[in-house]
Amino acid sequence: MKVEEKVALCAIKNDSESHIVLDQSICKLCKTRLCLRACPAQLYTQSESGEISLDHSDCLECGTCLVICPNGAVSWRYPNAGFGIYYRLG
């Protein structure tokens, strides 16, 4: 079974409050934009103006964005109790 097929079997209960916060003043200075390529859920996008945004609703809670950001622009925590991803397969 492929990873994509396993993730499709997971359930996500979304909170209106994001558990990931970006410091846009730091993001603007970033040259590598590693978050755009490293996030396995592809949550990060870049607008035509160059601003980085994210949609936390499909987050896999892996913490890749926190680790991969070379400038510390990402503030990441687990979602509030009762929200987030529920893995059905390991």
pTM (2 d.p.): 0.81
- Residue 11, C-beta contacts closer than 8 angstroms, at least 6 positions apart: 85, 86, 88
- Residue 36, C-beta contacts closer than 8 angstroms, at least 6 positions apart: 44, 45, 46, 52
pLDDT digits (tens, 9 = 90+) for 52-86: 999 998 899 999 999 999 999 999 999 999 998 88
What are the chain's domains? 3-86 (3.30.70.20)
pLDDT digits (tens, 9 = 90+) for 36-56: 999 998 999 999 998 999 999
Tracing tokens 């209960």 back to the chain, one arrives at 13
Residue 87 carries which side chain, given as an amino acid letter? Answer: Y
Q: How confident is the model at residue 11 (pLDDT cuts 50, 70, 90)?
A: confident
